[in-house]
Amino acid sequence: MRKKNDFLQAFQDSSQLLAMLMDPDKVDLSKVENLVQHLPKATTHLFVGGSEVEEKLTEELVVLLKKQTELPIIIFPGDYTQITNEADALLFLSLLSGRNPEFLIEQQVKSVEKLKNTSLEIIPTAYLLIDGGKETSVQRVSQTLPMAQENIQAIVNTALAGEYSGKQLIYLEAGSGASTKVSTAVISAVKKEVSIPIIVGGGIRSEKEIKQAYQAGATMVVVGTAFEDNPAFLVSNSASTSKTVEVSK
């Protein structure tokens, strides 16, 4: 039995969702409890996934997280092997910014055997890689080029093509560790034209940047690297006395 639309519903119920992204390849499983204890208070969801993750690691992390938190866990897969029924929902991504059939449709076809009897809520998601100022792992693994931030019309048209194809969410991705995040100009231009909710991630490191993304039109912001480096990053932005928490490998 597939789950009801709790994840999508969250986008109707709130205009400011915040997901912390955990890459199973980077998280030290023995420190998950500590990691969960230091989640920013505003966190509404956990994303689990990475560009290249050894099979089974995702499931192990999800199972551990489930023991520590009731936050919904969403699979944000770099490839179909990361899909696990232990999570609550799956971003069913199509990399619409690129022209590599492997990430437009082939990975989706490969995932079908895992999904036929799944309990995961499956969310068709238009995934757009936007230039983050440096080569990111999404670019390297997908062998596609990001869209230029200046090419706003092409980004908007690609997002609209996603909406017209039935995607339920638009994900504007600058890439993990991006030096330039998706600009507010890009977010607001997409927001103006599309009617489905927008997720923004890549290179976002502070509360100020999270707020800017919401103000521009993102309904959900995803933070990975800043949280990996220091789970107390949101606190440390406002209180210089907070301690760094060691959690990664």
Q: Which stretch binds ligand 1GP (CB under 6 A): 32-40, 122-130, 155-163, 222-230?
A: 222-230
- CB count in 10 Å sphere of residue 240: 6
Question: For every residue of 168-204, which 3-state class applies, written as one string?
Answer: CEEEEECCCCCCCCCCHHHHHHHHHHCCCCEEEECCC
223 binds ligand 1GP, rule: CB under 6 A: yes
Residue 91 contacts ligand 1GP per CB under 6 A = no
Name the residue nearer to ligand 1GP (CB basis): 73 or 113.
73
Rounded to 10 degrees, what is the CA torsion of 192, 193, 196, 200? -60
Contacts of 91 (CB under 8 A, 6+ apart): 47, 74, 75, 76, 77, 123, 125, 127, 169, 171
| Residue 202 is a binding residue for ligand 1GP (CB under 6 A) | yes
Q: Does 22 bind ligand 1GP (CB under 6 A)?
A: no
Give 188-193 contacts, CB < 8 A, sequence gap 24+: 188/216, 188/217, 189/152, 189/155, 189/156, 190/155, 190/156, 190/159, 190/217, 191/216, 191/217, 191/218, 192/156, 192/217, 193/156, 193/159, 193/160
Of 173, 189, 219, 245, the residue at the interface with ligand 1GP (CB under 6 A) is 173
If one asks whether residue 225 binds ligand 1GP (CB under 6 A), the answer comes out as yes
Least distance to ligand 1GP, CB of residue 9, Å: 21
Binding mask 116-155 for ligand 1GP (x = CB under 6 A): ----------------------------------------
- Supply the minimum distance, in Å, between the C-beta of residue 4 and ligand 1GP: 25
Using the rule CB under 6 A, is 224 a contact of ligand 1GP?
yes
- Work out how close the CB of 116 gets to ligand 1GP at its nearest, in angstroms, rounded to a whole number: 28
Among 17, 20, 21, 245, binds ligand 1GP (CB under 6 A): 21
Choose one: 82-90, 176-184, 212-220, 236-244; the region binding ligand 1GP (CB under 6 A). 176-184
- Of the candidates 82, 80, 84, 81, the one whose C-alpha atom is nearest the C-alpha of residue 94 is 80
- The site for ligand 1GP (CB under 6 A) is made up of 21, 173, 175-178, 201-204, 222-226
